[in-house]
Structure 1
Amino acid sequence: MQVDFYHLTLRPLERALPQIAEKVLAGGARLLIVSGDEGQRAALDRALWTYAPASFLPHGIAGEGDDAVQPVLIAGEVAAGNGARMVAIVDGAWRDEALTFDRAFHFFGEDQVAAARAAWKGLADRDGVERRYWKQTERGWEQAA
């Protein structure tokens, strides 16, 4: 199981997350996006429709339709109604339920660094968990650990 920590420093989540979602879908997988903040979920719903003029990221909000058919599902909890094996935690609050997926993307901002460090340390001794840390640069994402 792989956990990728994405430290948002230069671009906001609404610009960074669609890039990850596109790569997941291009690889033939599905993605669950998790945020405990209803306002953030609504903002991400809008962002996935409008982040680039020529883009289209098919997605839905959990409970607002047939979750099972959504390639990308935005939810308030770690429950993959769309059968996703990849999860993006976007509100900065790590959830151990993400460890039941094949891969987790943990996005956090400057105000969430302490919590992200605690999550990083908490995963250090977990069997079968590979951790990677990504930071934003002017050229894009670079793996730092």
Structure 2
Amino acid sequence: MKKIKNILVPLDGSKSSLKGLRLASTIAKSSNAKIIGINVVRYSLGFHFPVSSEIKKKNTKEAESIILEAKKSVMKDKVIFIGKILKGENIGKTIFDFLKTKKFDLIVIGSRGPNPGAEVFLGSVANYLLHKSKIPITIVK
């Protein structure tokens, strides 16, 4: 089996994504891997409807808070954590495009985001990545 060096963990602040982070931290600690935690800030609501600058600031501030809390969480396990905030319209596609920028060995993602109602309307990010990515994925429920 290939050694795990870089684990991608999409983070949205949901309980599910935090469970994924805890699992990724356990895996990273045992394999001496790095965790790259990402949060995608949506700057439009689809169909090219941009959000206001006030909402962008609020969403960016929330993303920074999520990344900071994630970093604090994995520091307890003495795991290297690199946080990234990405901007995109489609969260799944933005994460998929990010996968191409670095060599990842594993994706650990929560099964549900913070808004289960929106998941039905917008589609599931975990499902999108499961079908698009060639990298092994662990989905945490």
Higher strand share: 1
TM-score w.r.t. structure 2 length? 0.48
- Higher helix proportion (structure 1 or 2): 2
**TM-score after normalising by structure 1:** 0.47
